[in-house]
Structure 1
Amino acid sequence: MTEAIISILIGLVALAIGGELLVRGAVGVANKLGVSTLFTGLVIVGFATSMPEMVASVQAALIDSPEIAWGNIAGSNISNSLLILGATALIAPIVLTGMGKRDAAVGLGVSALLWVLTAAAFGSLWIGVGLLALLISYIVWRYRHPRAADEEDEEEGPDALWLAALLLVGGVGVLVFGGNILVNGAIEIATILGMSETVIGLTIVAIGTSLPELAASAVAAFRGKPGLAIGNVVGSNIYNILLIGGVTMILVPRPIPFELVDVEFAVVTGSALLIWILLARGKTIGRGLGALLLAGFAANTVYLLLAQ
């Protein structure tokens, strides 16, 4: 138990350091490439911080445990939308300037698509390929059609693109290390406390693999980079469904576990709808709303624990 607690503390420190490195690198990359920090958060940071989910879900698919893979995708998206956005708003209110509503609409659309695929019991290799094709199309479309509202005031970053990229990659590496060591410690404690593997997968593993997003978004919001914070959350949700879901479907080409349709995928879609409404209509995600998002996440977690 003592070693597990030490692992959790080391993981938290690594997450804080990795988040700062990643944000500095991401801002530098955005400045040097002439793109917005929102685009960087959506495409680059969203992809990078989704790698823990990718590894966990692919490993589960390879051992023929798609329930864990899809449960991780659902749990991670719920963590992104409710836990990460809520915690980030508590740390520093996120000022919205019309940014990201198109991307939130894409996130809502792919969440609803996943819910429909599950309810209809569709599953095949070609559906997986189609999900990956949708992701590629989204990235190309997003790069070719930026909006003025996506832009933020430039902040001086590293002098060279290679240094900015090095900071970004290094930050991701430290985040993944911190997330892994924290999750391992948490799983050890949960096992000692008698939690089931399913609940561990839907809660601790899903939350743990979302820790890089939490650290990155929290640091970005604290440093006044709302585009990076929002882009990271929305982009990660899109990657989780289209990239990780697509790869999982290709590796295990059969219907998504139906038990996820009634609650978890409904919460995934509902939280995606909430993000779209906030970005389309809201001006600020303040601490009060952040607390409500965290309360929703806590309620979902309690439900999972009571339902095991």
Structure 2
Amino acid sequence: MTFHLLFALLGVVGGVWALYYGGNEFVRGASLLATRLRVSPLAVGLTVVAMGTSAPEFFVSFLAALQGHPSIAVGNVVGSNVANVLLILGVASLLAPVMKEAQLFTFDFPWLFFSYLLVFIGVIVYYPSSYGAFARWAGGLLLLSLAAYLTLLYRKSKKEQRLQEELLKAEGLVEDVHERTVSLSRIVVRLFLGLSFLLLGSEALIRGSTWLAREVLHVSERFISLTVIAIGTSLPELVTSIVASTKDENEISLGNIVGSNIFNVMGVLGVSAVLSPLHVSLPEFWYDYGMMCLSSALLVVLLKRRGRVGRPAGAGFLLLYTGYIVLLYFTRFQ
């Protein structure tokens, strides 16, 4: 018992350190990549950073679908999207206000809610009694939508960056030559190193905290899977957004959250459904799906009206997330 306790504590401490180091490397690599490829940091946050930090969700849902656990595959995606907005953005905004980006309202948020609509349609098409099924065709539709989104995003970003460069030249301003000349191989190594530490750190922290929750706090396995594991797979997003906020990389921080949610639904859920039709309990699904839509809608309204997510709003997000978890614990998952 003592050995396992020590091992769990080392996992938690080592995981936190690995997450911090990996987050620093990953954000810096993403910033350099944006400069090197002549695309906006927001575009990199919405794609490279979002996909990289969504790797834990992908592996968990992928394996769950293969092993015949559809509720885990779906719950991991929906639960992670709720945590991304309420928990991660809430914590990041406490450190530094997260400012709005105009592109999100005209391009990315519509795609995000379109992905939610596809999930809704995919579930209600099959509506026998209290169970629904997310079929392979619905998963394929999500993957096609992801391909369309990424293609349009790349073209849009390249066009905007080209216009910005022309404006800088016209005004006689010179860009940072050093960052332009950083080799692509060094940037890739930095991204890979950062992502590796993020994944290893999250795995160590998940294992350590899961053991502590089960053996010390004596809560049920099912509750652990819906809280510790869901939050654990979102740890790369959490650390990346915190580091980006402290380094004044607002575009990467906000892009990471929105892009991760888009990729979770279109990519992770899409692949999982293509592998195996996902049968879900509708009462449980609608509860979590509703919270996912509500949290994203709150983010849009807040950014639209106030132009940022400040500390008071961040604290409100954290309180709402705490209430969500407490309600899960006392109503269905004890």
Q: Output the TM-score relative to the length of structure 2.
A: 0.86
Q: Does 1:141 align with 2:152?
A: yes
Q: Which residue of 2 aligns with 1:187?
A: 210
1:217-250 per-residue CA deviation (whole Å, 9 max, x = no partner) reads 1111111111100110011101111111011111
Give the count of matched residue pairs: 308
Distance 1:111 1:72 in 2: 15
Unaligned stretches of 5+ in structure 2? 126-131, 169-174
Which of 75, 79, 82 matches 1:75? 79
SS at match of 1:208: helix
Aligned partner of 2:244 in structure 1 is 220
Q: Does 1:117 align with 2:122?
A: yes
> Of the candidates 180, 193, 198, which is equivalent to residue 170 of structure 1?
193
Offset from partner CA, 1:106-161 (integer Å, 9 cap, x none): 11221233234334435322111111111001000111123759989977647222
CA distance in 2, matches of 1:253, 1:81: 27
Q: Quick one: distance in 2 between partners of 1:229 and 1:66?
A: 30
| From 81, 85, 90, the counterpart of 2:89 | 85
Q: Does the Cα contact within 8 Å between 1:76 and 1:207 map onto a contact in 2?
A: yes
Partner of 1:58: 62
1:103 and 2:127 are equivalent in the alignment? no
Pairwise CA distance, 1:56:
0.7
Q: Find the counterpart in structure 1 of residue 19 from structure 2.
A: 15
CA gap of 1:275–1:199, structure 2 versus 1, over 3 A, is same
1:45 and 1:60 map into 2 onto residues whose CA distance is: 24
Contact 1:100 1:279 in 2 (8 A): no
Shift of 1:260: 3.1
Compute the displacement of 1:7 (Å).
0.9
Shift of 1:97: 4.2
Distance 1:200 1:305, change over 3 A: same
Once the 2 structures are TM-superposed, how far is the Cα of residue 40 of structure 1 from its aligned partner?
A: 0.2
Give runs of aligned pairs for residues 218-257 of structure 1, distance below 5 A: 218-257=242-281
1 CA distance for matches of 2:8 and 2:240? Answer: 24
Contact 2:91 2:318 in 1 (8 A): yes
Question: Aligned AA for 1:186?
Answer: S
**Matching of residues 20-31 of structure 1 within 5 Å:** 20-31=24-35
CA positional deviation for 1:166: 1.3
Describe the superposition over 1:4-38 as per-residue Cα deviations: whole angstroms up to 9, x where unpaired.
12211111111111010001100000000000010
Bigger radius of gyration: 2
Asked if structure 1 preserves the Cα contact closer than 8 Å seen for 2:240 and 2:253, the reply is: yes
Aligned equivalents of 1:275 and 1:104: distance in 2? Answer: 10
Q: Distance in 2 between matches of 1:108 and 1:280?
A: 16
Which one is further off, 131-140 or 244-253? 244-253
2: CA distance, partners of 1:197 / 1:296: 24
What does residue 52 of structure 2 align with? 48
What residue in structure 2 maps to residue 131 of structure 1? Answer: 142
SS of the aligned residue for 1:238 comes to helix
State, as a whole percentage, how many aligned pairs show the same letter: 34
1:275 positional shift = 2.3
Could you say what secondary structure the match of 2:218 adopts?
A: coil
Paired with 2:82 and 2:62, the residues of 1 have a C-alpha distance of 19
CA distance in 2, matches of 1:268, 1:112: 12
Structure 1 counterpart of 2:34, one-letter code: A
Q: AA paired with 1:109?
A: F
Partner of 2:171: none
User: Is the CA contact (8 Å cut-off) linking 1:82 and 1:296 kept in structure 2?
Assistant: yes
- Residue type at the aligned position of 1:106: W
- TM norm structure 1: 0.93
More divergent stretch after superposition (109-118 vs 78-87): 109-118
1:253-297 CA distances to partner (integer Å, 9 max, x unpaired)?
A: 144432333310000111121222234343221111111111111
1:270 is the counterpart of 2:270: no
Q: Distance in 1 between matches of 2:119 and 2:299?
A: 17
Residue 254 and residue 71 in structure 1: after superposition, are their counterparts in 2 closer, same or farther (change >3 A)? closer
